[in-house]
Amino acid sequence: MNIINSVSNCIIPIIIMIIIICGLKDRREMFDLFISGAEEGIKITYRLIPTLIGIFFSIELLRCSGFIQMITNILKPILSLINIPSEIIPLALIRPISGSGAIGVATDIMKTYGVDSYIGTVAAVIMGATETTFYTIAVYTGNLKVNKSSKLIAAALTADVVGMLAAVAFCRIMSMDFS
């Protein structure tokens, strides 16, 4: 474990040194490149701010309106027929929209049911198997100025649903007693 800690503490300085050495070898103006990169980063951030404000506002509306609880109540009987725990519905709804919101929901699930419980395990696997789809698409398409992203969103949400169903199936298989 000590070796891993030592290596992880040295990795970033080593990468920085490699970049500086390559820049010196190629006789490039490293500080000028840094400044132009920082300027470009600020421009990208400025372009993304309206999109991010819209996403954060939408998340807060969903949380405060009771919409998530309403959807959970509607889907609960259907999901119970196919052995999907209804306790993960709020996580499944928030995860494509917000990573931090999903972390909050997953934490609540794990506090309520326990980290080693079936539901806690499903929540953890969903967090690893899915992406914050709308945030990621907003960042990338906003930066690239893509206007038509409906097919991209459909494909990404399909991947999220498949990831969530696979998480439930995988956790169900792993929780079976084969003895």
Four-CA torsion 47, 155, 109, 168, nearest 10 degrees: -160
* Coarse DSSP helix, strand, coil percentages of the chain, rounded to the nearest 5 percent: 85, 0, 15
Most distant pair of Cα atoms in the chain: their distance:
66
What tokens does 51 get? 């999109």
pLDDT given for residue 178 in this prediction: 55
pLDDT given for residue 109 in this prediction: 92
Query: Would the CA dihedral through 75, 92, 106, 129 be positive or negative?
Result: positive
Per-residue pLDDT of the chain (179 residues; tens, 9 = 90+): 678 888 888 888 898 888 888 888 888 787 888 888 889 989 888 877 887 787 778 777 877 898 888 988 999 999 888 888 989 999 998 898 888 788 888 998 999 999 889 999 999 999 998 888 887 887 777 767 777 778 888 998 999 999 999 999 999 898 875 55
Other C-beta atoms closer than 10 Å to the C-beta of 110 total: 17
Cα angle for residues 165, 168, 172 (degrees, 5° grid):
140
What are the domain boundaries of the chain?
47-175
pLDDT given for residue 175 in this prediction: 81
pLDDT given for residue 56 in this prediction: 75
Give the C-alpha distances (Å, rounded to integers) separating 36 from 31, 49, 74.
Answer: 9, 20, 52
Other C-beta atoms closer than 10 Å to the C-beta of 3 total: 7
pLDDT given for residue 125 in this prediction: 93
What tokens does 170 get? 């995988």
> Of the candidates 12, 13, 16, which has an alpha carbon nearest to the alpha carbon of residue 34?
16
